[in-house]
Amino acid sequence: MRAGTRKEVVFKREETKAAVVTCGGLCPGLNVVVKSIVDCLSYEYGVEEIWGIRWGYRGFYESDDYWKKLTPENVQGIQNLGGTILGSSRGGFDGPKMINALKTRGINQLYIIGGDGTHRGVNNLIQQLREAKVKVSVCGIPKTIDNDIPLIDRSFGFRTSV
């Protein structure tokens, strides 16, 4: 399915609570993706509660301070910065703790930006969410400087780094 806004929206904007996390190593364009998600959710869909989860998967559960409210105002200009305003890390996947954090905050849309290992985590998390009967839409966004994510035609990060 192609990216972009939809005619039919499943989530009511007033009920939508979204979160964005960057995982794995750094690559070009992370802040562009974070800003684009925030701007699209805010301006195209009217979502008012968007959270950035700092420091990858472990940011879900290690500290409440790792959850940062994101708005179009506080992501303005981040596309010109290197790295990611959310920080990133490898590892830290703990499905039950992550699901507990999502339930506690009422998150029903989750955007996970990462490479091959991160997407193995995405698949694992989706399976655990289904088993726990927790309704969260999860969107895995591919990024890699290694060009090693199976089944995708293109990712951000690789061509820029080359």
Tell which wins on pLDDT, 154 or 133: 133
Domain ranges of the chain: 13-147
Question: Going by CATH, does the domain composed of 13-147 fall within 3.40.50.450?
Answer: yes
> What does the DSSP 8-state code read for residue 79?
G
pLDDT of residue 142: 85
Question: Above 70 in pLDDT, residue 1?
Answer: no
| pTM, 2 dp | 0.88
109-114 sheet: strands from edge to edge: 67-70, 49-53, 17-22, 109-114, 137-142
- Average pLDDT for 44-57: 96
Catalytic site residue 153?
Answer: no
pLDDT more than 90, % of the chain: 69
Tell which wins on pLDDT, 118 or 144: 118
With beta carbons less than 8 A apart as the criterion, state whether 71 and 42 touch.
yes
Q: Which of 39, 94, 116, 146 is catalytic?
A: 146
